[in-house]
Amino acid sequence: MTTSTTTRDQALVAALRTTPIDVIDPTDARYDEARRVWNGLIDRRPAVIARCRDTADVVAAVAAARAHRPAVSIRGGGHQVAGSAVCDDGLVIDLSEMTGVTVDAADRTAQGGPGARWADVNRETQRHGLVVPGGEVSETGVAGLTLGGGMGALQRAYGLSCDSLRSVEIVTADGVVRTASATEHPDLFWAVRGGGRGIGVVTTMEFELRPLDPQVATALVLYPSAEAAAVLDAWRRLVPHLPETVSPEYALWSVPPDPTIPAEMHGAPVVVAGGLHAGPAEEGLEVLAPLARLGTPLMDATAVTDYAASQAALDPLFPAGGRYFFKSHFLDEMDDDAAAALVATGNDRPTPGCIVVVRTLGAAVARVGEDESAFAHRGARFNVSIDAGWTDPTLDTAAIGWARGAWDALTPFATGGLYVNFAGLDEDADRVSAFGSHTARLDAIQRAYDPDGILTSAAARP
């Protein structure tokens, strides 16, 4: 670093130490743990980490950023794939300790802190038979997933996570604490629903809750990889006939080392058909039954299970410290050529932890108007995520190369849009692809609330 940068960072740290914020710099024994994020591929060294406990701490951290102008990144639950929660040589505003979740069952609302994870939300809401549609891994951060849109197992029934937002408390670059909702600062409220990072520091989220009994029917059916094309063909024909209480998925994966699965199957390449029924459990078993009739199942684990447990079931398969690289496409249709290209990408997976997943949209996702939120892909019928996962650093080039190659192979069949939460690393991301026709409006809102780029300096990309 230059002398001027070092002097700036020293002044920044000194200013932060005059506040109640827990300040962690490279001299602190906690530094390496504090800068570590879920994705082991990310190894960034910020100048200082400001670990905030409440909104007042956030206001103080933003004031220090405004005075000293470092690069700024904002860390919530810490599960974001691209690792943009941490920046090199800048200030991390760390919200990971702001994890509180409260539920008003009578009003059917929940409030959550920006450090909360979906496990925290599920634990509190499911006590009352209520839910916020969240992700598919319970350790995912609520704020990050929601700000990027929030796809998950309940999306066709209840929409994206951002569609359940009623309001947010947000600290903007001028240090003002604002409430954004449909009636207060509606431009900010529009932006936080799918606009990703760089808008402000969200300190509280208020969600509308939906009914969901703690016991739900889930489908998980494994088919031989040799039947990948035939199962996908049958899956494509089935999907239009399933009710919107189900968001069916198709995946190309390898059998994980799950103790509930026979050991002799571990590591074998397979096709996965799955879904969750947002309704009465016994009814759901009947609704989901066709997912076990797409070919010759190796295993059918369709069952009634606890919703919170089902959301946590994948957690051990995506451990912190693993190496991850995700990319995605949206598709309006999946014709025979697209299906063939998709199956081919699965055949080339370089590690058992690499996955290709097709998620269905439409229904509640599509009923929200295209321009009602910053999420720009309401009309797509499918999202295809290409998820590279591995542990050996010597496989970095192969795993990332496979994901980028698979993405390239599917590009001719895609809309040109990408899901901001699965955007690759920063060099892969493109604002127009992420936000489409909403890009100019989103940029204007960011300029209005942060004309000097205080919070967008490290977040210029999605």
The residue ranges of every structural domain in the chain are 3-94, 101-212+436-449, 215-434
Identity of residue 308: A
Is there a shared CATH topology between the 3-94 domain and the 215-434 domain? no
Q: Give pTM, 2 decimals.
A: 0.95
Rg of the chain over Cα atoms, rounded to whole angstroms, equals: 22
Average pLDDT for 284-289: 98
Average pLDDT for 135-154: 95
pLDDT of residue 310: 95
**With bands split at pLDDT 50, 70 and 90, how would you rate the model's confidence at 152?**
very high
Task: Give the CATH number of domain 101-212+436-449; options: 1.10.10.10, 3.20.20.220, 3.30.465.10, 1.10.1040.50.
Answer: 3.30.465.10
Dmax (CA) of the chain = 68
The total of other beta-carbon atoms located within 10 Å of residue 166's CB is 16
pLDDT of residue 428: 66
Task: Strand 201-208: give its sheet, edge to edge.
Answer: 101-104, 109-112, 201-208, 165-171, 177-181
pLDDT of residue 461: 40
> How far is C-alpha 197 from the geometric centre of its chain's CA atoms?
12
Q: What is the pLDDT of residues 399-448, one digit of tens each?
A: 999 999 999 999 999 999 999 999 877 666 688 999 999 999 999 999 99
User: What architecture is domain 3-94?
Assistant: 2-Layer Sandwich (3.30)
pLDDT beyond 50 at 462? no
Q: What is the pLDDT of residues 185-197, one digit of tens each?
A: 999 999 999 998 8
DSSP letter at 333 equals -
Beta-bridge mates of residue 360:
382
Helix axes 336-347, 396-410, angle to 10 degrees: 170
What does the alpha-carbon distance between residue 66 and residue 324 come to, in Å, rounded to a whole number?
A: 33
Which residues, at least 6 apart from 377, have a Cβ–Cβ distance to it below 8 Å?
149, 330, 361, 383, 415, 417, 419, 436
Tokens of 54: 């409440």
pLDDT beyond 60 at 128? yes
> How far is C-alpha 204 from the geometric centre of its chain's CA atoms?
18
Distance separating the N- and C-terminal Cα atoms of the chain? 26
Q: What is the pLDDT of residues 295-347, one digit of tens each?
A: 999 999 999 999 999 999 999 999 999 999 999 999 999 999 999 999 999 99
Which residue bears the tokens 């991390």? 92
Average pLDDT for 214-233: 98
State the chain's mean pLDDT as an integer: 94
Q: What is the pLDDT of residues 50-105, one digit of tens each?
A: 999 999 999 999 999 999 999 999 999 878 788 889 999 999 999 999 999 999 99
Fold exhibited by the domain 215-434: Vanillyl-alcohol Oxidase; Chain A, domain 3 (3.40.462)
Tokens of 128: 């009352």
pLDDT beyond 80 at 5? no
- Least confident residue range of 148-162, 262-276, 380-394: 262-276
